[in-house]
Chain A
């Protein structure tokens, strides 16, 4: 009986990935993200110079020549600082979005599944959170807790919980009316099993797509907070902080502000392109099932 085993069809995410790869915009976005991630992760080995070592002899060098992207007013290599700064951007954004995805996703799922007054209450709390613009809420939290890396993660995660709760709640409410949930109850499954074993796999792709798109927002918020001086403290390089420092010499050495700005732009653009592609690939209306 058990010898008849046909190959299982590829799981949904594999099909989505194949579809996303065939889209040139998504592929370009993925390439941009990949380059930035690799250069950040391997910065200690790839960066040509120490990002914090000052070299007064070579201050404010123009791009090209010995320093590919030039040097700042302390003679630090811009390219190396960008690569190291990417680590901060990515760590903060990934950490914050991962936390928001788990916390917000569980809140939304449980709230939608339980429904009734509980759902009403939870969603009103989420609406209050949602009414603060991300930057303002992040600003309040960092101002209260102090500009540490962990606090940045907490601040940005807080701003992103509500959207994830919403995105998880809506499909949960639709799914809990489906007969397979009722079948599970009739079969004696616990609510936890139904929620995490049956509803979660069905909403996961939507939450993941949302995660990619919100990563871009997180990168922006982190850069903005660093720009106004509430990011990780100097001398640790951050893209927002570098942009701000560059402003002081914008007329003499515009590259100081321009290159970190371009880095932020590219990462946000790349993440958005990947997110859009993933969304299209997992959209049930476009998927031929």
Chain B
């Protein structure tokens, strides 16, 4: 145990599983989700919010994949759409070759066991009228994994695994702090023994000191259980620390993807560069560099033509307003890629 924690301090979770298995477990291709609503009076107009326009990525077993971007860029929608918590409009999602979007009934239920989610808000993610024990035992019963005393024993073991005393089984959610509730939410996700956890801003609602504890817990679980993660966050320093690979989203599209080290330190896309520069770095020598992001993120109901980023891009060219940039491989082997006319 102590050896493991030394190792962790030295290397961080990145690089713990350096060669990911060749076959990805989760493949997302061309995922799209538009929200259509009718607004206005007396004549209603149809407003289409293009939350997720077209995103593709793959996650390998045991890999931590980060999805970063400003609020409103569609990263949470993408995470929910691939879990079928909202139905995507187009695209393909496969789990180990099995079509997630076409799955129904028992097949969908079996897939749900493989992929779990941890939510941002620990206060709304637990049923206030259910004891912690009941909340942990229920998924086991639904999936026929354990019953009665055995289920309760497992629930207690899960609580210990996430750092809570088994006595918490008989308590209600309101008796716990935000960080403790987040641990309970993580334990609940683990009840069905998933292989992938979608963590939707899992620490954003927590105090900084508690953030670190929960991140360490997630990392520990990742090591011990070989879990893969889709880690959705707007906090680059958290993603840099936790993830192997990162995709940067802007207005429903992935603009750059690659190893976390390269994308966050040495991005190719002008937007990713801005994000990097706007993210605080604990290094006094870099104090002089000011964030360069100009303007607001455009509305997803009225996205600009061509490259979605061109109105804010300091290096925009004429072509950027006309054509959506193609996906271009980054130089070097498996360094990911970028969607930008500068690198086309």
> Which A residues contact B (CB, under 8 angstroms)?
1-2, 4-9, 12, 178-180, 182-183, 185-189, 193, 197-198, 201-202, 289
Contact = CB atoms under 8 A, between A and B. Distances in A.
A163 to B, nearest CB: 23
B242 interface: no
A180 B117 contact: no
Given A1-B153, A187-B142, A188-B109, A8 B129 contact: no
A38 B268 CA distance: 82
Contacts of A183: 117, 119, 125, 185, 188
B165 interface: yes
B139 interface: yes
B174 interface: yes
Given A182-B119, A188-B142, A12 B157 contact: no
A188 B143 contact: yes
A137 to B, nearest CB: 33
B188 to A, nearest CB: 7
For the complex of A and B, list the 9 residue pairs with the smallest distance between their C-beta atoms, beginning with the closest.
A179-B125, A188-B112, A201-B129, A179-B119, A188-B109, A178-B124, A187-B139, A4-B167, A179-B124
Given A2-B152, A2-B156, A201-B129, A186 B166 contact: no
A189 B28 CA distance: 24
Contacts of B131: 8
B130 interface: yes
Interface string B121-142: 1001111111100000011001
Contact of A4 (B115, B166, B192): B166
B116 A202 contact: no
Contact of B170 (A5, A180, A202): A5
Given A8-B131, A180-B125, A185 B167 contact: no
Nearest to A193: B142
B172 A186 contact: no
B165 A179 contact: no
Given A9-B172, A9-B175, A183-B119, A2 B167 contact: no
A202 B174 CA distance: 14
A186 B125 contact: no
Nearest to A200: B129
Nearest to A6: B167
Contacts, number: 85
B9 to A, nearest CB: 30
B124 A180 contact: yes
A202 B129 contact: yes
Interface string B148-179: 01001100110010000111011110110000
Contacts of B127: 180, 198, 201-202
A200 B36 CA distance: 30
A223 to B, nearest CB: 37
Contact of B117 (A4, A9, A182): A182
29 contacts: A2-B149, A2-B152, A2-B156, A6-B167, A6-B171, A7-B170, A9-B171, A9-B175, A12-B129, A178-B125, A179-B119, A179-B120, A180-B124, A180-B125, A180-B127, A182-B80, A182-B85, A183-B117, A183-B185, A186-B85, A186-B117, A187-B116, A187-B188, A188-B108, A188-B139, A188-B142, A188-B143, A201-B130, A202-B129
Contacts of A178: 124-125
A2 B185 contact: no
Contact of A198 (B112, B119, B130, B149): B130
Contacts of A179: 119-121, 124-125
Contacts of A7: 170
A6 B170 contact: yes
Given A9-B175, A12-B129, A202-B127, A187 B112 contact: yes
Given A5-B167, A179-B121, A183-B119, 16 more contacts: A1-B160, A2-B156, A5-B170, A9-B171, A9-B175, A12-B129, A180-B124, A183-B117, A187-B139, A187-B192, A188-B113, A188-B139, A188-B143, A198-B129, A198-B130, A202-B128
Nearest to A198: B127
Nearest to A194: B127
Nearest to B140: A187
B152 to A, nearest CB: 7
A141 to B, nearest CB: 36
Contacts of B68: none
A4 B165 contact: yes
A179 B118 CA distance: 9
Nearest to B121: A179
A224 B340 CA distance: 77
Interface string B73-88: 0000000100101000
Contacts of B152: 2
Most buried by B among A6, A180, A197: A180
Contacts of B129: 12, 198, 201-202
Contact of A186 (B116, B121, B167): B116
A180 B139 contact: no
B174 A289 contact: yes
